[in-house]
Structure 1
Amino acid sequence: MITTVTLNAAIDKTYRVKSFEMDWVSRVTDMIAVPGGKGINVARVARLLGEPVTAAGFVAGFNGQFIRSGLDTEGIPHDFTEVPGESRLCLTVLDADNGTQTELLEPGPAIAENSLLPLKEKVKALAGRSTHVCFSGSLPLGCPPSLYAELITLAREAGAEAVLDASGDALAAGLEAKPLLIKPNEHEIVRLLGRPASSDDDLAACIRELMQRGIRHVVVSLGARGALAGSSGRVRRVAIPAIRAVNPVGSGDAMVAGMVTALRRGSSDEDAARFGAACGSANALQMQAGVVTTEDVERIFRSVTVTDY
């Protein structure tokens, strides 16, 4: 089983408008509202790929009820920790005329210290039944930056591999626990190491440094240019085919789900990077974040190239 942990789960609401202008009334042509947050997107994609999953983390209030109910409707098992407050709403506005996307992200509930122990116990129990535990997204207010590191250690002690897709202080602290895989983007890895990276050569050097620190898989996403993927001491360029993207939100989460799925199935490091990239691209073809079709993934996979850097 793959367990995903989303500490700041959300309702992801997507609006599509013809033209989104400031200080003006915009009419929405299409709307989707679904359970969201990075870890929930990972769980959804992994399940669509045929893997057994459980979504965990914090939920709160009426929005938390919506998240649970929505996952029930999708057939995604879940085991959340309830906390006071209200889970957040994340709004994406897709502008058809200009090809832009605008995101508005609420902060979510503040987490009291007495809510951390039940979460840790739940993560430890789920990890004992999982091959991989994916920790994804921002930390809610009240959570210490060291929380991901603590949870990664608990997951490993229970016998599961840990994956971390976070940013800022949470990512920096989480590295101390040496997760199996991290997936920063090119801006996050610069902040993480505290030095500029103005070229792919610089990014490759950053990846090698992180692998030397004990992180087996370091994948830096580059948007339409694909990714640089470091695995077991080697860096590879992952090139993806051109697509007509509908909504790129969630593509990084889909990439994580694809890589974890491939590694869980025993794929090589090279094929895991290819499969992850194919899933990320397939997600961008959908209006809803965290959705792929196996047909799209298989078609794109055949066109993804991986070469030594």
Structure 2
Amino acid sequence: MPSRDAIVTLTMNPALDVTADAGEVRPTDKIRCTADRYDPGGGGVNVARFAQALGATVEAVFPAGGLTGARFIDLVTAAGIPNSPVFIHGSTRESFTVNERTTGKQYRFVLPGPRLSPSEQDRCLEKLRAAAVSARFVVASGSLPPGVPPDFYQRVGQICREADVPLILDTSGGGLARVTSGVAVLKPSVRELRECVGRPLQTEDEQLDAARELIERGVTRAVVVSLGADGALLATAQDSERFPALPVHAISGVGAGDAMVAAIAVGLCRDWSLSKAVRYGMAAGTAKLLAPGTAVFSRADVERFFEMACSRPGGDRSAATV
């Protein structure tokens, strides 16, 4: 058996992320943009980039097609990310983010992505199966593109079970609701958790009850609920913990959740407790708020925020591992 030391990520709907600044966003008028930048994006690809920045060994699996897909692969490779693309007939999507300088508001435009055929989906799973033999963790992150059935991530969970590799899952909609088992750590936002259980979840107790409901149903062993400016919640079958947000003046919220997932995976690869790994995730997500677009955070910022997170009450807790 090959040595298992990599974080393998799966991104079924990657995107070429275009970010630019504009003085003011107005209807009808042409909006002249400046400071444009291009990054390879999509949940799992972002996780791979951020995890590598924290010193982890990574491999990214994703479908790619058309001229956009070719540029996407070039950007991933130029970033030094080992990758296993699955070539598809459709074109990789683009996402466009505009930062309005006069107000500080951010406008994000996201396209649906190419339709994947059943054979293209199967080839993605085969690539994942091959990569999983060297994985310490598999991270499946992001939305499902058109043509992919909502139970697709359940098939990913089955592959991870067969390979004896823990799965960290960060998705939404039907892709989340149709998962029934096989997840080690589930990382929904509170909005995604509401949609999954079909309840408003207005209080922290209701949010924890919903998370434990998924654990009791056997969907996952642990749930990390991101609460945006309110921090995060961790729930396991035995315990729960609330993590307050770290104070920072945000530049861009794009990719902060992916940074959080990446750092959680890195922490677990270091055999940290899940509580400590989530604190590391909070630090990375906060550091990402200081970086433009989907640019990688400063590792020094992550370590600074991590020290801050661990100095708070409960920072030395050792909750369950996965």
Report the TM-score when normalising by structure 1. 0.95
Once the two structures are TM-superposed, the CA of residue 290 in structure 1 deviates from its matched residue by 5.3
Once the two structures are TM-superposed, the CA of residue 212 in structure 1 deviates from its matched residue by 2.0
CA displacement, residues 67-126 of structure 1 (integer Å, 9 cap, x when unaligned):
110011111110011110110000111112212111111111111112122222111110
Once the two structures are TM-superposed, the CA of residue 128 in structure 1 deviates from its matched residue by 1.0
Structure 1, gaps ≥5 residues long: none
Cα pair 1:255 1:278 within 8 Å, conserved: yes
Cα pair 1:17 1:96 within 8 Å, conserved: yes
Name the structure 2 match of 1:293. Answer: 298
Amino acid at match of 1:87: T
Cα distance in 1, alignment partners of residues 237 and 177 from structure 2: 20
Name the structure 2 match of 1:282. Answer: 287
Q: Which one of the candidate residues 9, 13, 34 is aligned to 1:8?
A: 13
Cα pair 2:64 2:85 within 8 Å, conserved: yes
Q: Does 1:101 find its partner at 2:109? A: no
Q: Which one of the candidate residues 132, 146, 163 is aligned to 1:141?
A: 146
Cα distance in 2, alignment partners of residues 113 and 212 from structure 1: 32
Cα distance in 1, alignment partners of residues 222 and 107 from structure 2: 31
SS state at 2:177 partner: helix
Cα distance in 2, alignment partners of residues 70 and 206 from structure 1: 39
Q: Does 1:43 find its partner at 2:55? A: no
Cα pair 2:9 2:45 within 8 Å, conserved: yes
Q: Which one of the candidate residues 56, 60, 79 is aligned to 1:74?
A: 79
Q: Which one of the candidate residues 104, 110, 123 is aligned to 2:115?
A: 110
Cα pair 2:224 2:233 within 8 Å, conserved: yes
Q: Give aligned pairs, total.
A: 307
Structure 2, gaps ≥5 residues long: 1-5, 318-322
Q: Which one of the candidate residues 197, 202, 205 is aligned to 1:201?
A: 205
- For the aligned residues, what is the CA RMSD? 1.4
Once the two structures are TM-superposed, the CA of residue 25 in structure 1 deviates from its matched residue by 2.7
Change (3 A) 1:306 1:4: farther
Once the two structures are TM-superposed, the CA of residue 26 in structure 1 deviates from its matched residue by 2.3
Amino acid at match of 2:83: H
Name the structure 1 match of 2:3. Answer: none
Q: Does 1:265 find its partner at 2:270? A: yes
Amino acid at match of 2:195: R
SS state at 1:177 partner: coil
SS state at 1:180 partner: strand
Q: Does 1:227 find its partner at 2:216? A: no
Q: Which one of the candidate residues 244, 248, 252 is aligned to 1:247?
A: 252
Once the two structures are TM-superposed, the CA of residue 135 in structure 1 deviates from its matched residue by 0.7
Moved more, 92-101 or 33-42: 92-101
Cα distance in 1, alignment partners of residues 183 and 248 from structure 2: 32
Q: Does 1:210 find its partner at 2:214? A: yes
Cα distance in 2, alignment partners of residues 98 and 156 from structure 1: 48
Moved more, 254-263 or 93-102: 93-102
CA displacement, residues 155-200 of structure 1 (integer Å, 9 cap, x when unaligned):
22112111111101111112x1331111111111111111221112
SS state at 1:102 partner: strand
Cα pair 2:39 2:295 within 8 Å, conserved: no
CA displacement, residues 6-31 of structure 1 (integer Å, 9 cap, x when unaligned):
11111001111222222223222311
SS state at 2:183 partner: coil
Cα pair 2:39 2:294 within 8 Å, conserved: no
Amino acid at match of 2:256: S
Moved more, 16-25 or 68-77: 16-25
Amino acid at match of 1:211: I
Name the structure 1 match of 2:35. Answer: 30
Amino acid at match of 1:45: F
Moved more, 30-39 or 115-124: 115-124
Cα pair 1:9 1:88 within 8 Å, conserved: yes
Cα pair 2:97 2:293 within 8 Å, conserved: no
Q: Does 1:53 find its partner at 2:52? A: no
Cα distance in 1, alignment partners of residues 90 and 127 from structure 2: 20
Moved more, 183-192 or 228-237: 228-237
Moved more, 94-103 or 206-215: 206-215
Cα pair 1:240 1:303 within 8 Å, conserved: no
Name the structure 2 match of 1:127. Answer: 132
SS state at 1:216 partner: strand
